[in-house]
């Protein structure tokens, strides 16, 4: 389980790096700061992903959660959302080192 969480964290980190790189290239080309919202990035990835996400959150969790939380998250920059997801997954999968030390018998 820990391996899968670490792998998902790595995938989210790679996606965040790609999203940040694309935003920086677009910013240099436009001579202005460009930050792609998560909603636009998800829409580019899969056109039906937003409706699927909305119906899943409304059905399984609570209908008002989508309006209050998910829409706010979707308006944030894609690289920041993906970095946060990567950090949270890494923190969940973190294994605390033993208290006795490395060379304890």
Model pLDDT for residues 79-88, shown as the tens digit of each residue: 999 999 999 9
Written as six digits, the tokens of 82 are 């993906």
Residue among 61, 41, 58 at smallest CA distance from 49: 41
Interatomic CA distance for residues 19 and 63, integer angstroms? 29
Determine the straight-line distance between the first and last CA of the chain, rounded to whole angstroms.
28
pTM of the model: 0.82
What are 4-34's pLDDT values in tens digits? Answer: 999 999 999 999 999 999 999 999 999 999 9
Residue 28: predicted pLDDT: 96
State how far the alpha carbon of 83 is from the alpha carbons of 35, 77, 102, in Å: 14, 10, 31
pLDDT of 99 over the 90 cut: no
**What pLDDT is recorded for position 104?**
61
Domain boundaries, the chain: 1-35+78-94, 37-76
- The Cα 39–Cα 4 span in angstroms is 26
Strand positions, DSSP E, the chain: none
Name the token pair of 70. 């998910």
- What average pLDDT score do residues 30-48 get? 91
């Amino acid at each position: 389980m820990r391996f899968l969480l670490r792998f998902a964290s790595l995938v989210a980190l790679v996606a965040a790096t790609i999203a940040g790189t694309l935003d920086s290239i677009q910013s240099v080309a436009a001579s202005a700061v460009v930050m792609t919202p998560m909603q636009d990035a998800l829409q580019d990835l899969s056109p039906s992903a937003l409706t699927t996400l909305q119906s899943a959150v409304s059905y399984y969790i609570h209908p008002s959660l989508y309006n209050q939380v998910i829409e706010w998250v979707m308006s944030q920059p894609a690289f920041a959302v993906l970095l946060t997801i990567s950090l949270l997954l890494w923190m969940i999968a973190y294994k605390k080192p033993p208290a006795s030390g490395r060379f304890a018998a």
